[in-house]
Amino acid sequence: MPVVTLPQFGATRLRSYVFRLPLFTRGVILVIVLLWVVSLQKIWDLVQWGALIPKEIGLATSMYYLFASC
């Protein structure tokens, strides 16, 4: 019976793959990873901070900020 081996995935291959990605894609991936790392800690609840709670978000308050910037 033949032995099936998985191909080795080295650091140089990963580095080459990352550097071939467009700069914007690398930036988006970096932001996603950073937000994920921040969400792991318990001091600042990122999920609660970014949540859109209907009782706290109203049409009147959002319209005020929309027209105040004009």
Residue 20 belongs to a domain: yes
Give Cα separations from 27 to 19, 32, 33, 37, 61 (angstroms): 12, 9, 10, 15, 32
Residue 5, domain member (yes or no): no
**Residue 30 pLDDT:** 95
Q: How confident is the model at residue 46 (pLDDT cuts 50, 70, 90)?
A: confident
The percent of residues above 70 in pLDDT, for the chain, comes to 73
Query: Is residue 42 helix, strand or coil?
Result: coil
Per-residue pLDDT, averaged over 30-37, amounts to 91
Residue 61 lies in a domain: yes
Q: What is the pLDDT of residue 61?
A: 60
Domain-embedded: residue 3 = no
For residue 17, the enclosing domain spans 11-68
4 assigned to some structural domain: no
**Number of independent structural domains in the chain:** 1
Report the pLDDT averaged over residues 31-44. 86
pTM: 0.54
